[in-house]
Structure formats: C-alpha cells, structure tokens
Amino acid sequence: MLKKIKNKIIKEIILTLLKVRIFKNKFFNKIFTQLLNFSGENMYYLKQKDKEMILNRIRDIKNANNNISFNLDDDLIKISREIKETGICSDLSVNVNEDDVKEVIDYFEKKHFYDSHTPHKENKKNFGDKPSGAYISYDNNTQLNCTPLLKLCLNDQIIKIAYSYLGCMPRLFSVNTFKTFPNQKAFTHGFHRDLDDFLWLTVFVYWTDTFENDGAFEQIKYTHCENKELQQIRNQKFNGINYDKFYNDTMGYTDKSYDEFTRLFGKKNILRVYGKRGKVVAADTAGLHRGTSVKNNRLVTWIRYGVTGSRQKNYSYEKKVDLNSRNKIIFNQSKFKNVLEDIL
C-alpha cells in the first residue's frame, strides 16, 4: 500500500517536472533521472503521450552526455525507417558467416543450461541432463563467453540501427539464447506485447534454419505505436477506440483465435519471418508478435537494446560475468563498451 502511494507521488512529480518549462535544466534533469530510477512499474503503463514525454527527456539527457558520433549510411537509415514505420525489419543484412554459426551451435551444445525459456537458478541443469519443457536457455556468463555472440552484441551495424531507432545511445539490457523443441506447448505462441522499457529494439539471431511452418516468428505490422495505418485498423475493426485503450486491450495473451487476428488486422499485415541460419531480424516487440511451433530443434538469440534498462533491473538474476581472455580483448577494444554496462 505504502509502495503504491510512493510510486503514485513519484509519477506525479515526474510528470510535473516534464510539463513545466522552468524545470528543464541540468539540475532538474538529475532529479528526473533519480526519480525515474526509484519509480515503480506504473510508469510503464502511462498514456502514450506521457510515455513519449518521458522518452524525449531521456533522449535529451543521454544525447547531451554522448560523445560517440555516428555515421549512418543510407542503408541503415532505410532499415531504421522501416522499423519505425512498420515495427519490424525482417533482414538487417548483418553478415553472420557460416563459421560463426557453426561455432555458436557447437558451443551451446556442450554447456549447462536452464530448463526454461529464460534462465532461472532453480531450473539449472547440467550438460547431458534431459530437458523437460519446450525450451532451454543459458545464463549471461555462458552466453557472453561465446565469441561470435559477444561480437554481435557489440556489432557496429546493429548498434547504429538501435541508436537510430531509439534516438539515443542504446543500452543492452537482455540477451537470451534459447533452444525450442518440437511437440511441446509453448506459452509464447499467442500474440502478445512485450513491455520492457519506454522504447526498445529486439534483435533476433537465428542459429538454425527456420521455415514458414517450422519456427517462424510473426509480428503484426503497425501495432508497435500510433500511426496512420493503425488508426485505420482501429477505426474499421475496433469501433474507433483510442490508441491507449487499444494498446491496453491488446496487451496480453488473449484467447482470440488466429483467424480472428487475421480478420482484425488483415492477412497482409501479419508478417511471417523465417530464413537461413545466420539471419538477423529486428523488431519493436511492443508490437503484437508471437513465436510459432517448431518441427526441428531451433536455436535463437534475442538481444534487446533499450533507453533506460530500469524495468529490467528488477529481473536481473545475475550480474557476475567473467569473460575469457579472448572475449575480454574484444570487449575492451570495442568503442561500444558502455552499451553493455548493465550486463557486464
């Protein structure tokens, strides 16, 4: 109860700080940042207009402190624009070569794992144990000691795209490599939204081949934010409800059938993404999305870049990552070390 009152007060102070002009200076920016760190989950459920106000102040503060300059070429700008417009780019043209793919598959084959979609201490299993569910996953220490994976987390092109999409320096707050097994009911197979930050970008890397009916990822275009296309859909299929109501109504896993989603959003807007191993996809997973079932074991990594990382701190179950000497060199030589400050 007290916590709820505290969070409500913090929320009101933050919104007042943002709305009143004289509170826009270095001193109040510091207060804003501190308050945001102490704020509760309720900040993530504000109206879109208020969330955007928060986001813009975060950008201002981060950009004022950023001393890395970015050169975005036309291709990167095009990709970032595509994600802004539709919520997804199904091919980032990041070249993950076959040797790297093989190294990653081989590497995770021989590691201890967690018997769940994301790692939880109590689900830890030794290499050679039998998994019981639809997924297995790996902890950060295992993942970041995998050289091609660490290189991807620090990849120039990916970070530039994230920078361009987020409008400020990205912070990597989650990396999760997981294997999906066939013939298992998986909870991520219904359309849903993720809620990780005020804005974030999820990058998926496929380490195994996926096909239309074997391990594809689906995202419903235009559902990641307010835009003209979505307005039209809301007017025609959702009785013209406003964006905030639409967002809340479509937040969780619903019992709506696939056909119902097709009817509401149009078949052409449900993008099915699959392809050869080494494929890299980026999506704003605030948009409606789902995984689909697999016929063969599928190994995928998601890498998530956000603007604050504050909500994720509540979830971080481990911070101790001890890099091997090869990866330590790669990390220390990267100009994007700060992007990984939440996990390394």
Site residues (vs Fe ion, CB under 5 A):
194
* Least distance to Fe ion, CB of residue 202, Å: 8
- Per-residue DSSP letters for 252-269? S--S--HHHHHHHH-GGG
* Least distance to Fe ion, CB of residue 193, Å: 7
Q: Is 267 exposed, middle or buried (0-12, 13-18, 19+ CB in 10 A)?
A: exposed
**What tokens were used for 74?**
């036309």
* Least distance to Fe ion, CB of residue 248, Å: 17
* Least distance to Fe ion, CB of residue 204, Å: 11
* Least distance to Fe ion, CB of residue 46, Å: 21
CB atoms within 10 A of CB 191: 23
Question: CB under 8 Å to 24, separation ≥6 — which residues?
Answer: none
CA atoms within 13 A on the CB side of 47: 6
Pairing between β-strand 280-283 and β-strand 289-291 as defined by DSSP bridges: unpaired
Residue among 88 and 168 whose Cβ is closer to Fe ion: 88
* Least distance to Fe ion, CB of residue 302, Å: 9
In the complex, residue closest to Fe ion by CB? 194
Cβ contact 135:169 at 8 Å: no
* Least distance to Fe ion, CB of residue 88, Å: 13
Residue among 194 and 284 whose Cβ is closer to Fe ion: 194
Beta bridge partners of residue 171, listed in sequence order: 306
Residue among 72 and 251 whose Cβ is closer to Fe ion: 251
Residue among 139 and 196 whose Cβ is closer to Fe ion: 196
Residue among 115 and 194 whose Cβ is closer to Fe ion: 194
C-alpha 73/C-alpha 77 separation (Å) is 6
Residue among 13 and 251 whose Cβ is closer to Fe ion: 251
φ, ψ of residue 216 in degrees (nearest 5): -70, 160
Q: How distant is the alpha carbon of residue 75 from its chain centre?
A: 22
Residue among 114 and 217 whose Cβ is closer to Fe ion: 217
Q: How distant is the alpha carbon of residue 10 from its chain centre?
A: 26
